[in-house]
Amino acid sequence: MAKQAGAFLTIGELSERLGVAQHILRYWETRFPQLTPLQRAGNRRYYRPEDIALAERINRLLNRDGYTIKGVQKLLAGDGDEGTRTEASPEILAELKSMRDELAEALAE
């Protein structure tokens, strides 16, 4: 059963929605100070709609558009503009995705 629009999401729900591991979301919180979910007893995280939108944007920039952590940090700080960068070639993006997948597999072992 899906939650209503505007409902807070737990880290597990957001993780599933974005298709990234929960530890990745916690890592993003350390790298992007704009991403600040509410934390309740036991450090349970609750992501508000604006947190969800930001996490979706970070995920898109990192995993689809090929930005680095530092590049996304600059964008979120207002030092960059998504529309002004040169797109990476499909071959480079495919190679980066392959490298990311290999690294994820190696870390999972």
CATH code of the domain covering residue 59: 1.10.1660.10
Q: pLDDT (tens digit, 9 = 90+) per residue, 69-81? A: 999 999 988 855 5
Q: pLDDT (tens digit, 9 = 90+) per residue, 19-71? A: 999 999 999 999 999 999 999 888 899 999 999 999 999 999 999 999 999 99
- What's the number of domains the chain is made of? 1
Does 18 fall in a domain? Answer: yes
Does 103 fall in a domain? Answer: no
In angstroms and rounded to an integer, the radius of gyration of the C-alpha atoms of the chain is 15
Domain that holds residue 22: 9-82
Say how many C-beta atoms besides its own lie within 10 A of residue 67's C-beta. 20
34-61 as b/e: b if 16+ CB within 10 A: ebebeeeeeeebbbeeebbebbebbbeb
